[in-house]
């Protein structure tokens, strides 16, 4: 309080997230929290649960509480926010916003390249929810990569997560629909690890062994991915590091002289983590 009064600053940051549960948002938040605590900043965290009215209202409410900057996690940024903004998984080029984004082209190459080396050609896909910032960007990367590798995409083997929760139930339900089409597949690439965990349950329930009959690749590398049965092969998105970079970038912008140049985008590279949920295509 004394430092704030002397400097006539709040030393407070606003963080906007869709929800807080195991997975994406929680890992990004851990990096944000660590850096802000280290630098002596206070922060407010609000979750909008994908309600458009809250997405629009929260930036204003946080500014009324004198935050000096905003971090938006998997949340569409608003136009005309007068304070510095850093968007994790942001893809819109907006004035005053720094986007921190994964290299989704490389992520698709790592996942599909791994499956191709194992001999998989009939691959099922689970897309993210329509409201997720990464869904279309990642799917476009998957389509381009598949085309360049000569991997045919079967529309009957493309499902999409529905619902706002981050429960494995969503991946379970999509995988049941994919199996119900009757189109055979030997591998499945899921939008995230949570949905991959649900997919494995649905595959086993239908009598398929993982990875002997169907290989499964997740995305994110959440903390529990390595402790699943089987341990989950996944594309590691360094979420904690992305949160840390977001906080560091925002504080640098806040403390820079007025009208200083700032980065419009920061690209983060993914990593393939091979575990026990993938194997060579079964012999016919």
**Residue 20: predicted pLDDT:** 81
Q: Which two tokens stand for residue 60?
A: 């204003």
Count of Cβ atoms closer than 10 Å to residue 209 Cβ: 12
**Residue 50: predicted pLDDT:** 87
Q: Are residues 64 and 98 in the same domain?
A: yes
**Residue 153: predicted pLDDT:** 96
38, part of any domain: yes
Q: Are residues 152 and 224 in the same domain?
A: yes
| Domain CATH for 258 | 3.40.50.2300
Residue 124 burial by Cβ neighbours in a 10 Å radius (0-12, 13-18, 19+)? buried
* Mode of pairing for the β-strands spanning 271-273 and 233-236: antiparallel
**Rounded distance between C-alpha atoms, residue 176 and residue 186, angstroms:** 15
CB 193 within 8 A of CB 218: yes
Residue 210: give the domain boundaries.
104-237
Q: Give the DSSP letter string of 96-121.
A: TEEEEEE-HHHHHHHHHHHHHHTT--
* Sheet strands side by side (includes 271-273): 158-160, 123-127, 187-189, 215-220, 233-236, 271-273
Q: Are residues 142 and 232 in the same domain?
A: yes
Residue 87 burial by Cβ neighbours in a 10 Å radius (0-12, 13-18, 19+)? buried
pLDDT < 50 regions, the chain: 5
73, part of any domain: yes
Q: Give pTM, 2 decimals.
A: 0.93
Residue 267 DSSP symbol: E
Determine which helix (DSSP H) or strand (DSSP E) holds 159, and give its type and residue range.
strand 158-160
Count of Cβ atoms closer than 10 Å to residue 172 Cβ: 18
Q: Is the dihedral of CA 30, 35, 40, 42 positive or negative?
A: negative
**Residue 118: predicted pLDDT:** 98
Q: What share of the chain is helix, strand, coil (3-state, %, to 5)?
A: 40, 20, 40
142, part of any domain: yes
Q: Are residues 117 and 27 in the same domain?
A: no
Number of domains in the chain: 2
């Amino acid at each position: 309080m004394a430092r704030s009064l002397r400097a006539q600053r709040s030393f407070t940051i606003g963080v906007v997230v869709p929800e807080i549960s195991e997975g994406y948002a929680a890992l990004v938040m851990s990096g944000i929290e660590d850096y802000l605590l280290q630098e002596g900043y206070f922060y407010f965290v609000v979750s909008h649960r994908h309600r458009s009215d809250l997405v629009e209202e929260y930036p204003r409410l946080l500014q009324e509480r004198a935050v000096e900057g905003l971090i938006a996690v998997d949340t569409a940024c608003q136009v005309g926010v007068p304070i510095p903004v850093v968007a994790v998984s942001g893809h819109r080029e907006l004035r005053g916003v720094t986007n921190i984004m994964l290299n989704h082209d490389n992520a698709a190459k790592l996942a599909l390249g791994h499956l191709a080396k194992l001999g998989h050609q009939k691959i099922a896909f689970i897309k993210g929810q329509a409201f997720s910032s990464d869904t279309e960007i990642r799917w476009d990367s998957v389509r381009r990569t598949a085309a360049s590798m000569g991997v045919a995409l079967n529309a009957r083997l493309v499902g999409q997560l529905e619902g706002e929760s981050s429960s494995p139930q969503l991946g379970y339900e999509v995988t049941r629909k994919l199996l119900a089409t009757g189109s055979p597949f030997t591998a499945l690439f899921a939008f995230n690890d949570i949905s991959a965990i649900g997919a494995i349950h649905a595959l086993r329930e239908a009598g398929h062994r993982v990875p002997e009959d169907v290989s499964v690749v997740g995305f994110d590398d959440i903390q529990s991915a390595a402790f699943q049965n089987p341990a989950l092969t996944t594309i590691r998105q360094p979420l904690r590091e992305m949160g840390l970079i977001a906080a560091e970038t925002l504080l640098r912008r806040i403390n820079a002289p007025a009208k200083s140049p700032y980065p419009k985008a920061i690209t983060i590279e993914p990593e393939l983590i091979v575990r026990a949920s993938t194997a060579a295509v079964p012999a016919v």
